[in-house]
Amino acid sequence: MPNYDPTQMADWQIAQAAEAHMKTVYQLGEELGLDKMELLPYGHYVAKLDYMRILERLKDRPDGKYIEVTAITPTPLGEGKSTTTMGLTQGLGRLGKKVIAAIRQPSSGPTFNIKGSAAGGGLAQCIPLTEFSLGLTGDIDAINNAHNLAMVAATSRMQHEFNYDDSVLASKGLRRLDIDPRNMNMKWSMDFCAQALRDIIIGLGGKMDGFMMQSGFQITVSSEVMAILAVATSLADMRQRMGKIVVAWDKKGNEVTTGDLEVAGAMTALMVRAINPNLLQTLEGQPVLVHAGPFANIAIGQSSIIADKVGLKLADYHVTESGFGADIGFEKFWNLKCRFSGLTPNVSVIVATIRALKMHGGGPAVVPGRKLDPAYTEPHPELVEKGIENLVAHIETVRKSGINPVVCLNHFYTDTDDEVAIVRRAAEAAGARFAVSKHWLLGGEGAEELAQVVVEAAEEKPHFRFLYEDSDPLKTKIEKIAKEVYGADGVSYTPLADEKIKKVESDPELKKFGTCMVKTHLSLSHDPRLKGRPKGWILPISDVLTFRGAGFVVPVAGDIKLMPGTASDPSFRRIDVDPETGKVVGLF
């Protein structure tokens, strides 16, 4: 790879320069040992992989080492999990290892808002950047369409039942579902941050213009359809799950599912191509599988089980990414994704930065779009020392799972040796291996230390165990997560949450479901203002949602919106097209 300087070039400029030297998907397929029919090209540099053919052909091949990447509680800027995932993959490649990464497809919401596209950064990126960031092969569009088709089925049925009696409905082959418009389980979806659409009225006009009711939108990646893509193990499994999605309740309080609406088959038809993982590459030419979506604070936030199973068969090391910190993304990887997949991870890499540790140690607020306070670019070892307890909390969480933890200090060029030494001492004292990685600045060369430490950790047998049993009561599951992962003293429940928990416990199927917590990613607690390792607090559960298709019960902690808002200085202001070349500029 040519020598690019990330201190002088924007991420998108590095990506575009590197794309001139990309491998074609045919080269990647040959290096992976794929049969011709297993590669489904979308142009020369992006493809889908026929997962069914691959898994069937390689069913007797042993799995490679399974590496998960998580982080400490981040600043609002993020601490570089995707960048580290790319850097580690490049570093393993430099050690001569056959390696594949799996990351999540970015949502258009953050891509056009303040966080960016999640392709990595500096000399540790996934390319081609434009395709990765702007729709890829249409998976999120398929999810959006499948989700909204369920809403079309529900709202049109409500209109027809309002306008026609039972005999007319019967003549059309329909039975009355009697959906309660005040008791909907789903909203419409859109993959942008659109706060104006959180609560709306639909169906204004005459009787042919729909059923008038209160409704709203959620961001597409929070859809249960996305969750199903993340946890499905086959197309047959996806089809079965799709028919269990609860769209609403009828006026007697009974569930109305996509199966009742006879729309699940059509929804699955929209997802047939999306179930195949996407193949891209790192800046240094290692293969990257991109599948499923982000937002572990309001969704499962994992790369898909199918992508991981494919990667584990095709490579000796498979590196997969989870969303946000270990309290959210890793906890869901541990207790949900691994439970569904049956896979046992070897290593969990916990990404930390001096910047985030300084914030947890009492540093000034980190605000997207504003210049960082000098405290974050000048030596302040006392802030690092005070903030280290946040890192220790995440190490303890990973160790409870029995997975081997490796702390990766994602090195910024402003970090000092004294500050790095503090993190090393604390990580090793807490029982984790430690590595400094300069992948942002140096690419795979800068990640060789991290890669070597991960290889060593992967040789040590994990003693994997779940935090809770399927048979545990829901409140026991919630309280184990709250106390043992978040560090809460206890849990409180609103009357609404208590009522819904009783319904879960009375349902033989629901009571065995996994617990997918909804909580802020900006604190170990439910309150984003509480940094470090908060003490003496109670986790408030305000609501409990059920994702019957995905197999989750979803307790909601605090005030969380399923539709984020767009900030006053969104990144779309800086994204444009070069009229001479047609290339997209300004992505990050």
Domain boundaries, the chain: 49-137+274-458, 139-268, 474-557
pLDDT given at position 118:
83
State yes or no: is 104 an active-site residue. Answer: yes
The catalytically annotated residue of 211, 324, 340, 434 is 324
Distance, CA of 325 to CA of 390 (rounded, Å):
10
DSSP state of 510: G
Total-model pTM: 0.95
Residue 560 has pLDDT above 90, yes or no: no
Give the class (CATH, top level) of 139-268.
alpha beta
pLDDT given at position 176:
95
Among positive and negative, which fits the CA dihedral 210, 212, 215, 217?
Answer: positive
The catalytically annotated residue of 48, 104, 358, 477 is 104
pLDDT given at position 1:
57
Of the pLDDT bands very low, low, confident and very high (cuts 50, 70, 90), residue 2 is: low
The catalytically annotated residue of 249, 412, 466, 588 is 412
State yes or no: is 70 an active-site residue. Answer: no
- 3-state SS class at 45: coil
Per residue, the 3-state secondary structure of 527-584, as one string, reads: CCCCCCCCCCCEEEEEEEEEECCCCEEEEEECCCCCCCCCCCCCHHHHCEECCCCCCE
The catalytically annotated residue of 112, 434, 440, 552 is 440
State yes or no: is 356 an active-site residue. Answer: no
Read off the pLDDT of each residue in 341-353 and give the average, rounded to a whole number. Answer: 97
Distance, CA of 97 to CA of 318 (rounded, Å):
10
Query: Considering the chain, what is the average pLDDT of its residues?
Result: 95
Please write the tens of the pLDDT for every residue from 266-292.
999 999 999 999 999 999 999 999 999
Distance, CA of 451 to CA of 444 (rounded, Å):
9
Distance, CA of 358 to CA of 491 (rounded, Å):
29
Residue 409 has pLDDT above 60, yes or no: yes
Strand partners, 557: 541
State yes or no: is 12 an active-site residue. Answer: no
Structurally, at CATH architecture level, domain 49-137+274-458 sits in 3-Layer(aba) Sandwich (3.40)
pLDDT given at position 553:
94
The catalytically annotated residue of 70, 75, 83, 282 is 83
Distance, CA of 490 to CA of 525 (rounded, Å):
11
Residue 336 has pLDDT above 80, yes or no: yes
Residue 543 has pLDDT above 80, yes or no: yes
For the beta carbon of residue 67, count every other beta carbon within 10 angstroms.
28
Answer for the pair 555, 498: CB distance below 8 angstroms, yes or no.
no
Distance, CA of 5 to CA of 441 (rounded, Å):
7
Closest CA to 125 of 5, 17, 282: 282
The catalytically annotated residue of 115, 239, 355, 533 is 115
Please write the tens of the pLDDT for every residue from 20-31.
999 999 999 999
Q: How much of the chain exceeds pLDDT 70, in percent? A: 100
The catalytically annotated residue of 296, 457, 497, 557 is 296
pLDDT given at position 207:
84
What CATH code is assigned to 474-557? 3.10.410.10
Of the pLDDT bands very low, low, confident and very high (cuts 50, 70, 90), residue 331 is: very high
Residue type, 243: G
State yes or no: is 324 an active-site residue. Answer: yes
Residue 420 has pLDDT above 80, yes or no: yes
pLDDT given at position 588:
80
DSSP state of 100: E
The tally of CA atoms less than 13 A away on the side-chain side of residue 145 is: 13
Residue 367 has pLDDT above 90, yes or no: no
Read off the pLDDT of each residue in 192-198 and give the average, rounded to a whole number. Answer: 95
Do the domains spanning 49-137+274-458 and 139-268 agree at the CATH topology level? no
pLDDT given at position 568:
86
Answer for the pair 326, 397: CB distance below 8 angstroms, yes or no.
yes
State yes or no: is 412 an active-site residue. Answer: yes
Read off the pLDDT of each residue in 140-149 and give the average, rounded to a whole number. Answer: 98
Closest CA to 301 of 326, 319, 268: 326
For the chain, the residue count is 588
Residue 6 has pLDDT above 60, yes or no: yes
The catalytically annotated residue of 48, 81, 239, 438 is 81
Residue 122 has pLDDT above 60, yes or no: yes
For the beta carbon of residue 564, count every other beta carbon within 10 angstroms.
24
pLDDT given at position 115:
77
Read off the pLDDT of each residue in 141-154 and give the average, rounded to a whole number. Answer: 98
State yes or no: is 172 an active-site residue. Answer: no
